[in-house]
C-alpha cells in the first residue's frame, strides 16, 4: 500500500521552505526605475548642477552598486545556495560582502539607482528609492529574515546580531 501523505507533507514542507517575499527584488527595482523614468518624462526634475560631471559620477556609483551585487551573487553561488528568494536557502553565507552587510545585493541595487539618478539627473529616480526601499524592507527583507530564523534558528540569529543589515 502506498502512503500518499508523505508526498503531500513533502510538498507542504517545500512550499514553506522559502521566504514568501511579496515581489522578486529585481522586479521591484525595475519597477522603481520605470516609475522614476515615467515621472521624469512627464515632469523632468533635474537636481545636479551643470558643473558636475554627472554621467561619470553616476556611472561610478552605479558601477560600485553593480560590483557589490555581483560579488554577493558570486559568493552565494560559491556557497552553493540560491539567490532567488522563492527557492529554499541551504546555507547562511557569512563570507565575502556578507561579512559587512546582510543585504549586499539590495545595497547594490540601492547604490545602482542612486548612480542612475545622478547620471540621468533625475530627482524622480532618487524619489523612487523611497517606495523601493519600503518594499524591500517590509515585503522582502522582513520575510527573508523571518524565514531564515525559522530555518536556521540560533545560527542565523548569531549571524544577524553580528552583521548589520545595511552598509
How many other C-beta atoms lie within 10 A of the C-beta of residue 167?
Answer: 13
Rounded to whole angstroms, how far apart are CA atoms 27 and 29? 5
Angle made by CA atoms 135, 137, 138, in degrees to the nearest 5: 70
Give the pLDDT band of residue 92 (cuts 50, 70, 90).
very high
**How high is the pLDDT of residue 165?**
95
| Model confidence at 11: pLDDT above 70 | no
Give the pLDDT band of residue 95 (cuts 50, 70, 90).
very high
| Model confidence at 55: pLDDT above 90 | yes
Give the pLDDT band of residue 9 (cuts 50, 70, 90).
very low
Q: Which alpha helices (DSSP H) does 43-153 contain, by range?
A: 54-79, 104-119, 123-127, 129-134, 142-152
Rounded to whole angstroms, how far apart are CA atoms 158 and 164? 12
Average pLDDT over residues 40-66: 95
Do residues 121 and 48 lie in contact, with contact meaning Cβ atoms separated by under 8 Å? yes
Rounded to whole angstroms, how far apart are CA atoms 155 and 71? 23
Average pLDDT over residues 85-94: 93
**How high is the pLDDT of residue 14?**
54
**How high is the pLDDT of residue 2?**
38
3-state secondary structure of 67: helix
Give the pLDDT band of residue 167 (cuts 50, 70, 90).
confident
Amino acid at each position: 500500500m502506498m502512503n500518499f501523505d508523505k508526498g503531500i507533507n513533502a510538498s507542504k514542507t517545500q512550499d514553506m521552505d522559502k521566504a514568501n517575499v511579496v515581489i522578486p527584488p529585481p522586479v521591484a527595482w525595475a519597477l522603481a526605475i520605470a516609475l522614476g523614468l515615467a515621472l521624469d518624462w512627464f515632469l523632468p526634475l533635474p537636481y545636479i548642477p551643470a558643473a558636475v560631471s554627472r554621467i561619470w559620477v553616476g556611472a561610478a556609483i552605479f558601477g560600485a552598486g553593480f560590483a557589490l551585487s555581483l560579488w554577493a551573487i558570486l559568493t552565494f553561488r560559491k556557497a552553493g545556495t540560491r539567490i532567488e528568494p522563492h527557492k529554499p536557502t541551504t546555507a547562511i553565507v557569512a563570507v565575502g560582502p556578507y561579512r559587512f552587510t546582510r543585504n549586499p545585493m539590495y545595497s547594490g541595487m540601492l547604490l545602482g539607482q542612486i548612480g542612475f539618478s545622478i547620471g540621468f539627473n533625475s530627482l524622480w529616480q532618487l524619489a523612487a528609492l523611497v517606495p523601493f526601499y519600503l518594499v524591500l524592507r517590509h515585503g522582502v527583507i522582513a520575510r527573508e529574515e523571518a524565514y531564515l530564523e525559522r530555518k536556521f534558528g540560533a545560527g542565523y540569529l548569531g549571524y544577524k546580531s553580528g552583521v548589520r543589515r545595511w552598509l
